[in-house]
Structure 1
Amino acid sequence: MFSTFNLFASLFIYRYLRLVVNLFAFCRLRPIPRPDNPRLTSQDVTVVIPSIEGDGAVLWDTIRSILVTEPFEVILVTINANLTRAKSMIERMGTSKVQVQSVAYPNKRRQMVCALPHIKTDITVFADDDVLWPPKLLPWMLAPLEDEAYGGVGTNQRLRRAEAPNLQQRIYGYLNALYLERRNFDCASCMYMDGGLPCLSGRTVAYRSNILKDEAFIRGFTREEWLGRYQLNADDDNFITRWLVSHDKKIGYQYHKEAEVLTTLEDNPNFVKQCLRWSRSNWRSNITSMFCDRHVWRKQPWSTYAVHQTTLLQWAFLWDCLLLYLYLTSTEVWSPESQLLGLTALLSWMLMSKFVKLLGHYIRYPVDLLLLPISIIFGYLHGLIKAKAMLSLNVTAWGTRDGADDDDAYRMIRVSRKQQEAGYASMPEEVDSGRGEKCEHNYGLPYHV
C-alpha cells in the first residue's frame, strides 16, 4: 500500500530533485572558450535592434555600447511614425555604421523580418533597445558558432540597477534582479545537463543568418498561430528557440562575465503586467514544445523536466502546503520531539531552497538579504499571476510600453477559415529605410483583418 509518508517522499523528490541536480550542473558548466585563431570575427556580425520609440537616452547608450564591439553594421528598425526621430538621432551620433528602417505598426516580429534582406553577414545578433554590452561580448558569442552544428548562442543577463532608487524602485528592482539571476541559473544548469535552454532570450542573442533567411523559417515565424485560431505575433524568441531544436541545431549559452548583458526591467507597478506577459509566453511556448513539437522529450529530457513541465505543474504555495500537510499527517505516530525535529529540518530545507540558487546575487549585494521575505511572499503570490496568465493566453498586448499596444487586433489577428484555406494571402507593405530606399518585402504576411 502506498502510504502517506511515501506520498510525501515522492512529492518531496519531485519538487527538489531538479534543485539538487541543477546546483551540481551550475557549478560544473564552463563557457566555450574563445579560439586562438577564430574563423568568425565581429565583421561577420550584423546587429538588429527593434525599437518603437526610435530614439532616447537609453537607446543612445545601447547603440554606443554595441558599436564599441565593432560589428559590421547595426540596423535599427522602428515604426513609420518615429522614423524621422530615429534618423535624427543617428545623424547626431555621427556614425555611418547604423542604418534605419521602419514598419507601419509596432510588431517585433515584423521589425525583425524587415531587417533580414539588408543583412550581408553570416551572423545576425538581435538586441533589445535597452541593453548595455560589454566590450568583448562578440568574441564570446561567436566562439560556439565556430562549430557549424550550432545555430544560436545566448548570453547571461543582469539588471541595470537604478541610481538612487526610491523604496518602490528598490523592491521592484530586487525582484527583477532575482528573475534574471534565476534565469541565468536555469539556463546554465540545463545547458550542462542536456544542451537545452528555457529560451534563447531576445535581449541579446546570435543566430546564423542563413537560418533566419530561410523561406520556411520566415513563413513559420510570421504565421505562427495559437490554438489554430489566432495569428501570433508575440513570443518571437520562444519560436526561434523551438525552431533550432526541431531542426537539429545546437544551442549555445555563454555564462561568462564578458558575455554578460545589462538590461532594464519595469521598476514600477507595470512590473505585474510584465510578469503576466512573461507567464503567458511560458504557457504558450512550453505547451507547444511538449505537446505539439514534442522534440524536447527526446532531445532535452532534463530541460523538459526541470523547466518546461513546471509551467503546468509547479505551484509553489500549493506544493509547500501539501508537503507540510503530508509530513504532519504521516508522522503523527512519531514522538513530539522527533516530529518537531523533522519539521524544523523540512522548513529549513524549504527556506534554503528559496535562495540558494540566487546566492550569487546576495554575494554581490548582501544588503538585499533584508528583502528576502519579499521574494518569498512574491514567489507564492506569483501563482495568482500564473493562473491569470493561463486564463488569458489570447492576450499578447505588451502592456508596459507606450505605443506597443495601439492596435492589439493587429498583434493578435484572428484568422478566418477562408484565410486558412487560402494559405494566408500576402499583404504588400512598403518599408522605408533610413537610407532613402524603398523595400517591399512582405514574406506572405496576412491581411490586417
Structure 2
Amino acid sequence: MRSYLLIAVSALVAMAAWAGLVFTGTMNGWTRTALAEPDDVNGFLQAAIEMIDADHRGNLGFALLENGEVVGEHYVSIGAPVDRDTGFQVASLSKWISAVGIMALVEDGRLDLDAPVSTYLQSWQLPGGEFDNDGVTIRRLLSHTAGLTDGLGYGGFAPGHEIQPLTESLTRASDASPGADGRVRVGLEPGEQFEYSGGGYSLLQLLIEDVMGEDFESYMQRTVFQPLGMENSTYLDAVSDNGNRATLYDVDGSEAVRYRFAGLAPTALNSSTADMVRFLQSNLENGTGNTARARILQPQTIGSMREPHASDFGLQIWGLGNILYAPNGHGDFIAGHDGSNDPAINSAVRYNPATGDGIVILETGNRFLATRIAGEWVFWQSHRLDVLSFAGDAGDMILTILAGIVLIGLITIAIAASLVWRRWRRRRRVAAV
C-alpha cells in the first residue's frame, strides 16, 4: 500500500510541476522570438511596419517612442490618406483618458477615491440589492473591482437613431454588446474580484457632470485636451468630423457604420496619433527625454495609477484606469490601455515609465492588429508576455497542461499496473513452492 501511495503522490507532484512549468514558460514567452534584438529600435520599427503593411485592412496610424521622443511613424490607408492628425475612434482606450479626468478632481480635493460613489451622485443612484452599494467607490470603479455586473461593452447607436440618455443607459443600456447584461448594478461583493465594467465608467462620467455642473465633453476639453494641445480629440462624434477623420472599415475592406454612444467616458473618444503621443508623454517624468512637457497630473498621482488593484490568473493586471501589461524589471509596470469594438476598431497605447519608451497604434479594418503589435512591443521591452497576449494563449496553455496531466496519469497507471503484475507473479511463484 505504501508503494501505491508513493506512486500517487509522485504523480500529483509531477502534474503540479508540469502545470507550473507550462504556466511559467507561457508567461515568459519561452517559445517566442522577439521582433528585434534588445535595444535595436530601428529593427523593431521596421519589423512592426512590415506587420502593418502585410496585415492592415483599412487605415492605421503608428508611432514609436524612445526615451520620450518619437523615433518613427507610419500611416497606411486603403482609402483616403491618413496622417498624424487624423482622428480615429479608439473604443475602450477612452477609459484611460477619462480616468485622468477623474484623478485631476482627486488631486484638487473634489473627490475622495475611497468614498462611496453615491456621495457625489445627484442624477441617478445604483439600485438596491444583495450587496452594500456603499462599497462602490471611485477607486473600485476605476479598477473594475466595484462588483458591477453589467458586462458592458457598448455597441452604440447608428446614424438616424436617437442616443439613449445617460441615466436610462445606466438603468439598462439599449446598445449593450451581445451577451452583456447591460444593467449597472452591484451583483458581486465590492472589492472582492475583477469584473470588467464599461458601465462603471459611464457612472464616472455622470459623477463628473453632477460634481462639476457641466457636461463631460466640456470638462475633458478644459481639463485634459486643451492643456495638452490635443486639438483633434473629442468624445462627441459630431465634433470629430473636422475634415480629417478616419473612415471606419470592416475586416473585408468595406466601409463600416460609425456609431455614437451615450457612454462617452468608456468608449466614445475620437483622437489622433499625434494627440495620443502627447497624452502618453504627459505620463512620463519630465526628466525622460529632452523636453519639459505639459502634464495634467503630478508624477506621484500617475505612479499611483500604476499600483496594482486587480489580478487574474495570479497576475497583477489593472491599476486605476490603466492596464498593467507586464512587470518592467524596475519595480513597476508597462502600462496603458487598448480598445476594441465592432466591426473592426482596435487601438493600443502603452508605455514603459522606466525608459520613457512607448507605442501608439490606432486602426480600423483589423480587429486585433494594434493589440498584436503592441504585444510584440511589450515582449521586446520586457521579455515577458503581456496580459492580453497571455489571455489569448491561455486556451493553448490549458490544453498543453491537460495533455501533460493525462500523459502523467497514463504513465502512473502503467507503473501501478506493472507493480501489481510483479506482485501477482511473485505470489504465484511463492504459492507454487
TM-score (norm 2): 0.24
Larger relative contact order (CA 8 Å, sep ≥ 6): 2
Larger Rg, first or second structure (1 or 2): 2
